Amino acid sequence: MTQLDTEFNNADLTLQKVWFYVQNSIRIMEALKKLVIEAGNKRGGALLNVIYRLMINSSDKSIRDLFEFILEKSSVPYITTLKKWIFEGILDDHFEEFIVKENLEFKKE
């Protein structure tokens, strides 16, 4: 956007330059569109699997880096829940996205 603005202010902006500058943004937006379509209504581990699959199947390094960033940030709550369940025996899953469901009819003792 900054490049486009600079070119526009210098009265040197052409349609060819606009097309050149937006190419990277178009690829990123197409990758995000693909993620949204494939993710659908998936949650938890199923969503993380979709992001991971898109990441490893991408041949474009910038798209792979984007999916890696998204995967890293979106896996934090899942990993936190997993650690709490494994090390403390506490299942804190308000949105029911975890692989394990708690049966409240049984007492922990």
Domain range annotation of the chain = 2-74, 76-109
Measured between alpha carbons, how far is residue 55 from residues 35, 52, 74, 86 in Å? Answer: 10, 5, 13, 28
What is the chain's pLDDT, residue by residue, as a tens digit (109 residues)? Answer: 777 788 888 888 888 888 888 888 899 999 999 999 999 999 888 899 999 999 999 999 999 999 999 999 999 988 888 888 778 877 777 666 766 666 667 676 6
pTM: 0.73
Long-range CB contact pairs, 76-81, < 8 A, 24+: 78/44, 78/45, 78/48
What is the C-alpha to C-alpha distance for residues 52 and 70, in angstroms, rounded to an integer? 9
Question: What local confidence, expressed as pLDDT, does residue 6 receive?
Answer: 83
